[in-house]
């Protein structure tokens, strides 16, 4: 099996690490904070125990965690064949991380950018080998979502595309080809929907509960847009909308002030216990 590096132990990074470990890959999960890594292991344990109840496969937490090494040392990725970067949607942070990855991970290692909005070509330009950089937009929760967006950058080689596609197929993912445009398909539509739903709450048109009930009841969505925002992370939604606004310079992507206020207040959704809804521990 392939040694997989995963950078960032937030919601997405934890899901990516677990998904690869489920299919027998050894994983090195890196984050700058030991406490975050500890929480990541607890989250994976809980997710594995809940998997069967949520309609997934029966998973042994100890078996999955035995394949995952956690560390704060980015140099531990030097031997990885594929590295999946999942840091926050902040260009300065991504630029710094990819500058380091370019030095630590020699070719032919593939660098996968798990981003919801930042163009892949922009990220690839940071390093000396843009042909080995490719975008994969995983959906949350990663182990349960069978579809990903596969986004080659301008310089991404055909070999990188096929290697990544085969790797994804091996962990149960159907990779949908998408051209490199900020937001791609899913988030160019979803972020507008969530942002507009937040405006409805901000303007007092409806409560979060009412907005979500309309989407569930009228359109058959399993989750409303604001429930989805809490699952993804309100802060992540804000950063993604800001990237779209900056990239397209189009007023339709203007971030809702409520998203900014909630992000500043630490109301980031499920991961902090409170967002548009309140969650117990």
What confidence tens digit (pLDDT) does each residue in 177-195 have? 999 999 999 999 999 999 9
User: Could you tell me the CATH number of the domain that includes residue 112?
Assistant: 3.40.50.720
Domain presence at residue 279: no
Confidence of residue 281 (pLDDT cuts 50, 70, 90): low
* pLDDT value, residue 55: 83
With a cut of 70, say whether residue 84 has pLDDT above it.
Answer: yes
* pLDDT value, residue 235: 96
With a cut of 80, say whether residue 141 has pLDDT above it.
Answer: yes
Flag whether 94 is marked binding: yes
Flag whether 186 is marked binding: no
With a cut of 90, say whether residue 262 has pLDDT above it.
Answer: yes
Residue 120 CB partners (closer than 8 Å, separation 6+): 113, 133, 134, 135, 151, 152, 153, 156, 180
Find the angle CA(59)-CA(62)-CA(67) to the nearest 5 degrees. 95
Q: Are residues 112 and 226 in the same domain?
A: no
* pLDDT value, residue 54: 82
Confidence of residue 61 (pLDDT cuts 50, 70, 90): very high
User: Is the whole model's pTM more than 0.85, yes or no?
Assistant: yes
Number of domain units in the chain: 2
Domain presence at residue 212: yes
Angle between helices 234-248 and 257-264 (to 10 degrees): 130
Q: Distance between CA atoms of 88 and 271, rounded to whole angstroms?
A: 14
HSE-CB of 266 using CA atoms within 13 angstroms = 2
User: Could you tell me the CATH number of the domain that includes residue 196?
Assistant: 1.10.1040.50
The SS3 of residue 149 is: strand
Q: Are residues 22 and 117 in the same domain?
A: yes
Domain presence at residue 191: yes
Domain presence at residue 45: yes
Q: Are residues 233 and 122 in the same domain?
A: no
Flag whether 8 is marked binding: yes
**Mean pLDDT on 35-62:** 94
Instruction: Tell me what the pLDDT averaged over the chain comes to.
Output: 96
* pLDDT value, residue 52: 87
Flag whether 140 is marked binding: yes
Q: Are residues 193 and 57 in the same domain?
A: no
Q: Are residues 9 and 96 in the same domain?
A: yes
What are phi and psi for residue 225, nearest 5 degrees?
-65, -30
**Mean pLDDT on 138-162:** 97
What is the extent of the structural domain holding 84?
3-177
Flag whether 122 is marked binding: no
Tell me the two tokens of residue 187.
Answer: 């988030």
Angle between helices 186-202 and 225-232 (to 10 degrees): 110
What are phi and psi for residue 71, nearest 5 degrees?
-160, 155
Q: Are residues 7 and 145 in the same domain?
A: yes
Flag whether 172 is marked binding: no
Tell me the two tokens of residue 212.
Answer: 């979500």
Confidence of residue 1 (pLDDT cuts 50, 70, 90): confident
Flag whether 271 is marked binding: yes
């Amino acid at each position: 099996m392939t040694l997989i590096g995963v950078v960032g132990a937030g919601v997405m990074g934890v899901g990516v690490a677990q998904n690869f470990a489920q299919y027998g890959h050894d994983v090195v999960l890196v984050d700058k904070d030991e406490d975050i890594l500890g929480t990541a292991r607890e989250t994976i344990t809980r997710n594995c125990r809940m998997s069967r109840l949520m309609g997934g496969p029966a998973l042994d937490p100890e078996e999955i965690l035995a394949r995952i090494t956690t560390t704060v040392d980015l140099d531990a990725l030097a031997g990885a064949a594929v590295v999946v970067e999942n840091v926050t949607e902040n260009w300065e942070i991504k630029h710094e991380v990819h500058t380091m990855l370019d030095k630590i991970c020699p070719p032919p290692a593939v660098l996968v950018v798990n981003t919801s909005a930042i163009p892949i070509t922009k990220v690839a330009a940071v390093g000396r080998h843009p042909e080995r950089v490719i975008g994969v937009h995983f959906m949350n929760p990663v182990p349960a979502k069978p579809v990903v967006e596969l986004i080659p950058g301008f310089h991404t080689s055909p070999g990188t595309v096929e290697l990544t596609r085969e790797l994804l197929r091996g962990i149960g993912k159907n990779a949908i080809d998408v051209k490199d445009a900020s937001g791609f398909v899913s988030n160019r539509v979803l972020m507008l929907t969530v942002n507009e739903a937040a405006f409805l709450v901000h303007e007092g048109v409806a409560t979060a509960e009412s907005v979500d009930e309309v989407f569930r009841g009228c359109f058959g969505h399993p989750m409303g847009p604001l429930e989805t925002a809490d699952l993804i992370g309100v802060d992540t939604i804000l950063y993604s909308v800001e990237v779209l606004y900056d990239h397209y310079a189009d007023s339709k992507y203007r971030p809702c002030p409520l998203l900014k206020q909630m992000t500043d207040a630490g109301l980031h959704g499920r991961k902090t216990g409170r967002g548009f809804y309140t969650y117990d521990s």
